Structure 1
Amino acid sequence: MKQRGRHRRQKRGRALRAFLAGTALALTAAATMISASQATVGDKPGGLKKLASSDRAAAGLRLQERAVPQSTLDRLASSMGRPVGVSTVLADADHSLRGTADCPSTERAALPVEPAATRAYCWDTADTRGWRAGAVTTSGDADDDGLWGEHRVILSGWTHPTGRSAEPGPARVAVVDASDPGRLTYTWAALVVPVDGGRDYRGLASTVSGMVWYQGKLLVTAADGLYVYDMHRIQRATVDSGRVGKVPGGWAAYGSKYVLPAVGSYRLAGGSAHPAAISLDRSTAPDSLVASERVSSAGGRHSRLLRYAFSSDPARAGLLATDFAGRAVATEAYETKTAQVAGVLSYRSQWYLARAADTPDGHGTLWRQDARNAKATECGSDESNHCWTGQAGSLSYSQESGEVWSQSGRMLYALPLSAIDRSLGQPTGPWDN
């Protein structure tokens, strides 16, 4: 009896071990399937899926234009003084960027691994402490000769998180004189929105994840759409204060010397979705604005890529083409399986998507996608695709210089688009970059 009981216990033990082993194999297989699924979405997104016109309409991809009344802007100007232009701001530069050799190694680590940046600069830590770098646009976007007047200019957007929840607080733009590559100087302009009919203004409380400076207008992404600023209508702040708006003795702008008041906005009709990254495409006729949503890997849907035409009406220079009701309709729309898109660029039917890193210390991925496939640069002995910056930022392409500008952390950098394409292999189709 004791021997038979021992055999039964041994059989039950063997059965339990077999069951646990089988369960472990099943869990391993499930994990493998999940990992493979995530790899398909994150690491092998495949080609873009074009959305039909009916799908675009159903998705509510129309942008509704809203202009700030001229009387509001005039009242603000009459109180603050005559607006100034970019050249006045550049002449008042009071800060300098440092060249790569003078940047700490911890900050240089934020640069792309492959392809490498050909020009890089870092911001003064004391001047940017507590602020988070965002989007970049240049005078290569503003005008096809790459200049604004006699200057090469870079605009760099920053946001100051507030509170423990890191909610976006005030936003500002560094207006950089990049005419001399060996000496970049800049000063700050706060991004604000007029209120009370132009008797005051509030700060733009939003992460500046995308900017496009086209002709005289600056388009900036915000949580509720796009805000429009006029680069000919920059106001001087008169009080050096950490506050914003009308204060005793004058006007304050978080310590910035200048203020950019919004002159209009675009709101997406589709509800909560909004553009998270934008850039200019000069390879289309007319020139166009491209935009992407930022959808997380666990978002349950794919990111949409959108294209909107700029107006060819001289009276609407720098604004989007709209219909009789002031609606800008997407001329193209795609879905991509690339998640966490932090930067978007389009040029000659190719789309470049900068994907943020999965971990705080990791590197992101730069994908080139078209309707057929997707390809990313490889680096390291393991042929990893994680070669881009970890804090992937917006992308801005200057057709005149052939350079792509972006920033990561406190590093502002540029590299030729041709270098990106060489690292990816030349794309199919016509290309003469």
Structure 2
Amino acid sequence: MKQRGRHRRRRRGQALRATLAGTALALTAAATLISTSQATGSNSPGGLTELRTASASQQLRLHENLTSRDSLDTLSGNMGGNVGIDGVLRDTGRPMRNTSDCTADERAALPVEPTATRAYCWDRADARTGRWQPRSVTTSGDAADDGRWNAHQVILAGWTHRDGQAAAPARDEGLARIAVVDATDPDALTYHWILLVAPRAGGKDFTAVRSGLGGMVWYQDKLIVTAAHGEGLLVFDMHRLLRTDVDSGAVGRVGAGYSAAGYRYVLPAIGSYDPEGGACARGRNRAVPCFGSLSLDRTTTPDSLVATEAVSAASERTRLWRYSFSTAAYRTGLLADAQGHVDAVEAYATKGAGVSGALSYRPAGARETRWYLGRQADGRTRHGSLWRQTGHGAEAATCTADQSHSCWSLGSGSLSYWRRTGELWTLSDTADGRVLYAVPLTSVDSSLE
């Protein structure tokens, strides 16, 4: 019976890929709607410039601050114990819509070239809300070599609360939530919301975490995300997912129980990485960079966390750098440190503006690392561009129809590479086009060549 079930799922997966291939052809034909005048990032940023000075290294240095285990254990005990990812996924989830059920506007938000081979749209209520924005993605392909968390294949998508309406409750602004997507069955994805929180009062209470969630990486048993306003990083333990027992708009302890603004699950922070040079800054005086996006590179030794600088679209340069993960058995998923200090092991500057996501990857036998940069268009109604940079130059994906570079998705987010499947995962964010999708990295390289 199990063998037959696997065959059925394989046939459904093949049917889905065939459907998406047809969608890809339709989207390629739609490329004629994009004019060359709409191209974004048309001017090549050229090669990456390596940053080697002592001052550049000092500006990227972090200090590790971990919450006491006693506080974390107190909170877990008060809330009935840790439920973990498996406990969340055993609960009833919201179904994601397959490509055939996505709207025309949602499908139009996908890349023109290279085309997506897997694409999913959110529950209609989440797809239409203007108060939350999807920003980042990471997967169990980042977390583990085999791409599984226990028996599941999982995708995490980070959303942040953004509501410009004057009547919106101030307490909600900047709230950070994550969609935990069960992607084990490619034909039937479901997801569950969890709210990010931080313990306080020695673990007897918690408060909401506020973050733009521009970047997020799940490595081993830890989740690292960008902090509020890009000022450093926050760390979470994926084993310490907790369930609330009070359904109210409050966040924290309510009487004898705990509430999380209506969310059933919370993930408490276990620590942070703060810039040693002080608060980050944008604009001209930005010695200490604010964090933009994050991704994982498993082709370095040891594995590394890749970060980009959050800058304005008009900026003349954007910094890209990496930190090594610790190889100590008792420091799983944490960054390498020496007495609490974390130093960047590599740093570059690119002239590419509007970087929304970056991924570094060095193929076997290659002489240098390739950096893939997703860049936003000037307006939210235009497709962005995707560049591959090295120290020697840059190439962009080019639309076959008009030879412009406006081929990437609308409102693209961070990038994540699932090495076992060879897929690059990301998401789009426009008012009418929020889609979680995957593109084979080989297709990306082919479109660049």
Could you say what secondary structure the match of 2:88 adopts? helix
Contact 1:145 1:400 (8 Å CA) reproduced: yes
Q: Hey, what's the Cα distance between the residues in 1 that align with 2:89 and 2:334?
A: 24
Q: Match for residue 155 of structure 2?
A: 154
Q: Does 1:266 align with 2:273?
A: yes
What letter is aligned with 1:158? W
Q: Does 1:353 align with 2:369?
A: no
TM-aligned CA deviation for residue 274 of structure 1: 2.2
Contact 1:281 1:347 (8 Å CA) reproduced: yes
What letter is aligned with 1:186? Y
Q: Match for residue 35 of structure 1?
A: none
Q: Does 1:110 align with 2:109?
A: yes
What letter is aligned with 1:181? P
Q: Match for residue 77 of structure 1?
A: 76
Alignment of structure 1 residues 9-408 onto 2, 5 Å: 43-58=43-58, 60-127=59-126, 129=129, 130-164=131-165, 168-222=173-227, 223=229, 224-248=231-255, 250-270=257-277, 271-272=279-280, 273-299=289-315, 301-324=316-339, 326-348=340-362, 349-408=369-428
What letter is aligned with 1:57? S
Q: 2:446 aligns with which of 422, 426, 432?
A: 422
- Runs of 4+ off more than 3 Å: 39-42, 162-168
> What do residues 12-49 of structure 1 show as CA deviations (whole Å, max 9, x unaligned)?
xxxxxxxxxxxxxxxxxxxxxxxxxxx99863100000
What letter is aligned with 1:282? R
Call closer, same or farther: CA 1:43–1:125 in 2, change over 3 Å: farther
Q: Hey, what's the Cα distance between the residues in 2 that align with 1:49 and 1:423?
A: 24
TM-aligned CA deviation for residue 252 of structure 1: 1.4
Q: Hey, what's the Cα distance between the residues in 1 that align with 2:139 and 2:355?
A: 21
Higher relative contact order (CA 8 A, sep 6+): 2
Aligned length: 384
TM-aligned CA deviation for residue 159 of structure 1: 1.1
TM-aligned CA deviation for residue 163 of structure 1: 4.3
> What do residues 139-198 of structure 1 show as CA deviations (whole Å, max 9, x unaligned)?
000001111111100011111114438994211111111010000011111011112222
Could you say what secondary structure the match of 2:54 adopts? helix
Unpaired segments ≥5 residues, structure 1: 1-38, 426-433
Could you say what secondary structure the match of 2:446 adopts? helix
TM-aligned CA deviation for residue 327 of structure 1: 1.0
What letter is aligned with 1:247? V
Q: Hey, what's the Cα distance between the residues in 2 that align with 1:169 and 1:41?
A: 29
TM-aligned CA deviation for residue 200 of structure 1: 1.5
Point out the more displaced range, 113-122 or 194-203.
194-203
Give the TM-score normalised by the residue count of structure 1. Answer: 0.85
TM-aligned CA deviation for residue 56 of structure 1: 2.4
Q: Match for residue 22 of structure 1?
A: none
Give the TM-score normalised by the residue count of structure 2. Answer: 0.82
Q: Hey, what's the Cα distance between the residues in 2 that align with 1:172 and 1:377?
A: 32
Point out the more displaced range, 191-200 or 348-357.
191-200
Contact 1:187 1:257 (8 Å CA) reproduced: no
State the identity %: 53
> What do residues 335-372 of structure 1 show as CA deviations (whole Å, max 9, x unaligned)?
00011111010001000111111112111111100001
> What do residues 86-115 of structure 1 show as CA deviations (whole Å, max 9, x unaligned)?
111111132110000101111111111110
Q: Hey, what's the Cα distance between the residues in 1 that align with 2:387 and 2:274?
A: 28
What letter is aligned with 1:156? A
Call closer, same or farther: CA 1:70–1:145 in 2, change over 3 Å: same
TM-aligned CA deviation for residue 66 of structure 1: 0.6
Could you say what secondary structure the match of 1:75 adopts? helix
What letter is aligned with 1:364? G
Point out the more displaced range, 407-416 or 310-319.
407-416
Contact 2:83 2:239 (8 Å CA) reproduced: yes
Contact 2:377 2:385 (8 Å CA) reproduced: yes
Q: Hey, what's the Cα distance between the residues in 2 that align with 1:254 and 1:115?
A: 40
Could you say what secondary structure the match of 1:359 adopts? coil
Could you say what secondary structure the match of 1:191 adopts? strand
Contact 1:41 1:337 (8 Å CA) reproduced: no
Contact 1:175 1:189 (8 Å CA) reproduced: yes
What letter is aligned with 2:133? R
